[in-house]
Chain A
Amino acid sequence: MTLTASEQIPISLNGKSGTVQSGATILEAAREMGVEIPTLCWASNLTPANACRLCVVELEGSRTLVPACSRVCEPGSVINTESERVALNRKMVLELLDSTNDLSESPELQALIDHYGADASRYDEPSTMKDDIKVEDDLFIRAYDRCVLCYKCVDACGDEAQFTFAISMAGRGFETRVSTEFETPLPESACVYCGNCVGVCPTNALQFKAEFDLRQGDDWDPQRQTSTSTICSYCGVGCTLDIHTQDNEIFKVTSPSDHSVTAGHLCIKGRFGWQYVQPPTRRPSSPDMSS
């Protein structure tokens, strides 16, 4: 049987039967049926990397659990997203991450850690993802001790958005890090400072410098923050910008990931070209804004 894109196929999810569009992933099917599945490396604007395994579910007939974010439903798939086995696996993924990374700036993960009862204190002197914070320019910083190796920044810099390929996974196993060639500082690398990597990072490992300065100065206060939507005025494409401010000072610019033009990705001008509305203290300086 060949399926056409518009065909509906029957599945069973947590004991309830339903139909979903053929080609839908288990994650999409679950959301349609009102069931939440946690994700970390998945993003609506990137191809699934399948790496974190937080979204695993039981699929009848499969020896192992399967990642909901990328596994496509088949006619008659019997899926369980809530079993004890699933819960234990998710708890362990969270526990392993929490024992390795600084997740203090990832509120969603913190909530999941509580929900699944992950307890990183079970590990005696665990090796961690130690790394010094890289502050190499005025635009953004990299704190890889928070990096969960979700591949999002690499994909956004590469063939999923920017086509600049300034960063890659380097090394192997527990030593794997996101890196430029020979760990060259970003300003000397191929980086064009679009900031799309920062835009997709789920753990604040990549962070706009203005936000970083506020946090370092102990002045970070979500209560005093607002976000304003506007259209970028640099060219005629019409990218939507969300300007995030604290006390009327811009600390970051994003674009909605479901936006039809940007899919959440911007260029250096939209992302960082806001100094003309801002006092010069936080002016971006080094990178070339002409490209």
Chain B
Amino acid sequence: MPNVPDLKFSDVVPEPDERSVIDDLVSVPPIEEKGERWVLGGIARGQEARHLLLPGLHALQDTRGWISPGGLNYLAEKLQIPIAEAYGVATFYDLFQFEQPDTEGPLHHVCVDPICEMGNSASYIAELRSKGHRVHESPCLGQCERPPAAFVQIKGGDNRDMTEATGRSIRIATADPKRLLRRITEMQDIDLESYERHGGYQALRLAIQEGGARVIEMLKESGLTGRGGAAFPTGIKWEAVARQETSTKYVVANADESEPGTFKDRVILENDPFALIEAMTIAGISTGCEKGWIYIRGEYTTATRRLEAAIDEAALAGRLGQGILGTSFRFDLEIRCGAGAYICGEETSLFNSIEGYRGEPRSKPPYPTDSGLFGQPTIINNPETFLNVLEILTYGVDSYRSTGTPESPGTKLFCLSGDVAEPGLYEAEFGITLRELLARAGGGVGELQAVLLGGAAGTFVDSRHLEIPLTFEDVRAHDMTLGSGAVMVFSTKVNLPSVLARFAKFFRDESCGQCVPCRIGTVRQHEVLTQISRRGQSPDRNELLHDIATVMTDSSICGLGQTAASAVQSAIRLGLLEKSDT
């Protein structure tokens, strides 16, 4: 009797190369052979292996340069995922194509967000097109210090960002005393030996010696807050997970970095990958998590390769796996690559993406510390947050708190881009003023019009705000945000209304589409701003923008919709749109 699985798949078959990449990735035998049925083995199988959906989609895309019906059908059947759902997941991401391209040549993703537009992305795109290349106009690629930024998708999977081509020419400036970027500025090689010579793995040894409870105590005493945007106290997060008594819990690094103007995590991962590995291991052994996941932006190919190599090296040297540094602790790390979706940086959306579902944010509560990845208690932190953990353990709480201010201790990474003399990554003590920060980057180019702090979801400031100390408490008091640490500088040469329209387009394109206020609100905001940038302001357009902003901010499910009007509204408050009337 033939066994018919309960899920219906289609009859289209994969090409041999598609079949073989999927067979390599998914080792379970096809479900018919065992005679399992969906309701018995299938549901369990589907849940167990579903996290392989995203890697499987990457494998198909890399192999043929698109995802064919036959390839998708084969992958879905092997994983026992309903084919319509697999399609729904695949079409969520920008890096997957569903029509066979007419040429085998690479697909150039070129950033068209404001900083790269100021850096002449338009002429670069024209040049590529004139040479017959395929071009996709991309949102910010996290390489804002070297515009115009590009990322090339190549059939066969040898995708490339610009790091290898441009080398380490980016300006990286550390604070005094040297902190988070110390190793990056001093290390010659990116390997374990070099990492340990520059102080690597001291913090883990200390954590083992002191025990998890003390590590968490130190984090709480240090006053460290999350650097991914929300500034949540890290010690409290770790403590909440440490207290959970379930046996399976996870540590996740959120390296999806896609906030326009932000590139700090890329620089960290490319140049100091062992630091992230060590800090995640500390989180694991201190809170009882044996497995960690690193979710890294799909366009960060250099960072991914270096991180993979570092994980392999750390595992070989007994720094990962069973019996870390001779103890009985176990900790393993797995990488997942995103596929072009800003929203997957939102923590619950990121969990869904790893689990093989559409990257739609979940409704909170429950919070990740109660129910995160695979429904288990989860610590999720930004790479910069993890780097701070190493500093706190290595130098002690007092030394850590001796920099910055009592409410914002330590240092912060700032990504300077746009109209500054030396764009790059700058580490500075909390409390530095914007004027001082710009001075460190050689000052502005041209006459300053405005600075966008914190990325597209951030706030505009202008010359009236240059003396405000950059600390969490000071920016909050002025209705500003530090957000991701992006500092985008716009001189008077820039047409700000069109910059705003472009950021509005970014949110329109990146909304997951789940909730009405954001799915439609971001579209209407973009439409109205486009009209304003062409025809100037009017009282009813401003009122409309205000009403749209209200519903997005108040009623959206997640931070994307809730901040999608933040930059626009701050620009209106500063009167930056008024200069548009032409």
Instruction: Give me the interface of A with B, judged by CB distance under 8 Å.
Output: 50-54, 56, 64-65, 67, 70, 85, 88-89, 92-93, 96-97, 99-100, 122-127, 148-149, 158, 163-176, 179-182, 184, 188-190
Instruction: List 15 additional contacts besides A70-B363, A173-B511, A174-B511; criterion CB under 8 Å.
Output: A64-B555, A88-B551, A89-B551, A93-B555, A96-B520, A99-B520, A122-B540, A149-B519, A171-B92, A171-B513, A173-B508, A173-B513, A174-B520, A182-B87, A189-B84
Q: Are B554 and A96 in contact (CB under 8 A)?
A: no
Q: Are A53 and B516 in contact (CB under 8 A)?
A: yes
Contacts of A181 in B (CB 8 A): 10, 69, 72-73, 83-84, 86-87
Determine whether B470 belongs to the interface, using a CB cutoff of 8 Å to chain A. Answer: no
Q: Are B550 and A88 in contact (CB under 8 A)?
A: yes
Q: Please provide the chain B residues from 96 to 112 with a CB less than 8 Å away from any CB of chain A in the complex.
A: 98
Contacts of A97 in B (CB 8 A): 516, 520
Given A179-B84, A179-B88, A181-B83, check contact A99 B554 (CB 8 Å).
no
Contacts of B527 in A (CB 8 A): 123-127
Q: How far is the CB of B139 from chain A (nearest CB, A)?
A: 12
Q: Are A172 and B341 in contact (CB under 8 A)?
A: yes
- Among A53, A89, A163, A170, point to the contact of B91 (Cβ < 8 A): A170
Q: Are A180 and B516 in contact (CB under 8 A)?
A: no
Task: Select from chain B the residue with minimum beta-carbon distance to A165.
Answer: B82
Determine whether B547 belongs to the interface, using a CB cutoff of 8 Å to chain A. Answer: yes
**Could you give 29 example pairs across A and B, Cβ below 8 Å?**
A50-B363, A51-B557, A52-B515, A53-B517, A53-B551, A64-B556, A65-B555, A67-B363, A88-B547, A88-B550, A93-B551, A97-B516, A123-B544, A124-B527, A127-B527, A149-B514, A149-B516, A158-B85, A166-B84, A170-B88, A179-B84, A179-B87, A181-B10, A181-B72, A181-B73, A181-B84, A181-B87, A182-B87, A189-B8
Contacts of A65 in B (CB 8 A): 554-555
Contact indicator per residue, chain B 521-552, by CB within 8 Å of chain A (1) or not (0): 11110011001000000001000100110110
Contacts of B556 in A (CB 8 A): 53, 64
Q: Are A92 and B519 in contact (CB under 8 A)?
A: no
Q: How far is the CB of B108 from chain A (nearest CB, A)?
A: 21
Top 10 A-B pairs ranked by shortest CB distance? A165-B82, A168-B88, A92-B551, A176-B513, A190-B8, A96-B520, A181-B87, A173-B511, A168-B84, A53-B555
Q: Please provide the chain B residues from 547 to 578 with a CB less than 8 Å away from any CB of chain A in the complex.
A: 547-548, 550-551, 553-557, 562
Q: Are B87 and A173 in contact (CB under 8 A)?
A: no
- Among A51, A92, A148, A180, point to the contact of B84 (Cβ < 8 A): A180
Determine whether B358 belongs to the interface, using a CB cutoff of 8 Å to chain A. Answer: yes
Determine whether B23 belongs to the interface, using a CB cutoff of 8 Å to chain A. Answer: no
Q: Are A64 and B524 in contact (CB under 8 A)?
A: no
Q: How far is the CB of A146 from chain B (nearest CB, A)?
A: 14
